[in-house]
Amino acid sequence: MARFSANLGFLWTELSLPEAIRAAKRAGFDAVECHFPYDVAPEDVRAALAETGLTMLSLNTRPGNMSSGEFGLCGLPGREEEAQAVIDQAVAYASEIGAGAVHVMAGKALGEAARTTFKANLRHAAAVGGAAGVNILIEPLNSRDVPGYLVGSVTQAAALITELELPNLKLLFDCYHVQIIEGDLTVKLEHLLPMIGHVQIAAVPDRGEPDTGEVDYRYIVNFLDGLGYTGFIGAEYKPRGHVEDGLGWLEQLR
């Protein structure tokens, strides 16, 4: 049976992170994941996880100054010191709360210098993460939502993972982004399964609950099960209303 994780970067955002963890438990999720938990004391997160029995699967490196358009630092030439600092912070926080993965955000940058910078920072992340027992994730983001993002396709992400040959560097396969970028979801899932560290879902094109739109997630979930995927499926969607009012998809996909 498929296991689902609530992404608390989008779900229950009106609550504190510990309370959002408790809400996810009440709603029937099997795990949680988040974006930027750094303003919350890790012991408070750890306590909520222990109380609910949920695991925090992953978190993101700090994105930089989002108000000025930044969306990650780790592929920005000249920002290597900052990038390594946010990587170290993310891995340390993940280790403190028992999270198994850190998504390293590349940022908005193009060209070979940016790619070289990102590769160097991924090597640093994999080394720090490996010492802490933490996987490192990279995620392709579509250019409609995040124009200019360095990793703009699954092909680019897979090429980086293949080139770097780092055992704890994995692909974050967000079906929402992949469908918008290039589609062909099941072929890509089958081909890339050995390097996939996590899968996420949301409706396309509105990024709402995964029960409408152009992707049939009943088919995708069954397909993943048939492939032998044993990880969680992350619900990283933007609720169309109150979170609890839109959770009918959860039992349907199980």
pLDDT digits (tens, 9 = 90+) for 31-44: 999 999 999 999 99
> For residue 248, how many other CB atoms are within 10 A of its CB?
10
pLDDT of residue 203: 98
- Hey, what are 62's tokens? 């700090």
Task: For residue 212, give every residue at least 6 positions away whose Cβ sits within 8 Å of its Cβ, in sequence order, or none.
Answer: 203
The residues annotated with a catalytic role in the active site are: 139, 236
Domain with 20 in it = 4-253
Q: Give Rg (Cα) of the chain.
A: 17
Question: How many domains does one find in the chain?
Answer: 1
* Burial of 229 (C-beta count, 10 Å sphere; 0-12/13-18/19+): middle
Give whole-number Cα distances, 160 to 20, 59, 139, 196, in Å: 34, 21, 11, 13
Q: What number of residues does the chain have? A: 254
Q: Is 232 left (phi over 0), alpha (psi -120 to 50) or beta?
A: beta
> For residue 29, how many other CB atoms are within 10 A of its CB?
25
**Any idea what the CATH number is for the domain that residue 47 is in?**
3.20.20.150
Task: For residue 236, give every residue at least 6 positions away whose Cβ sits within 8 Å of its Cβ, in sequence order, or none.
Answer: 7, 9, 10, 33, 174, 176, 200, 201, 202
Low-confidence ranges of the chain (pLDDT < 70): none
pLDDT of residue 1: 83
> For residue 183, how many other CB atoms are within 10 A of its CB?
13
pLDDT of residue 145: 97
The DSSP annotation for 3-48 comes to -EEEETTTSSTTS-HHHHHHHHHHHT-SEEE-S--TTS-HHHHHHH
Inter-helix orientation angle 112-132/154-164, to 10°: 60
In eight-state DSSP terms, residue 67 is: G
Bridge partners, residue 7, by sequence = 33
- Hey, what are 232's tokens? 């969680």
pLDDT of residue 242: 97
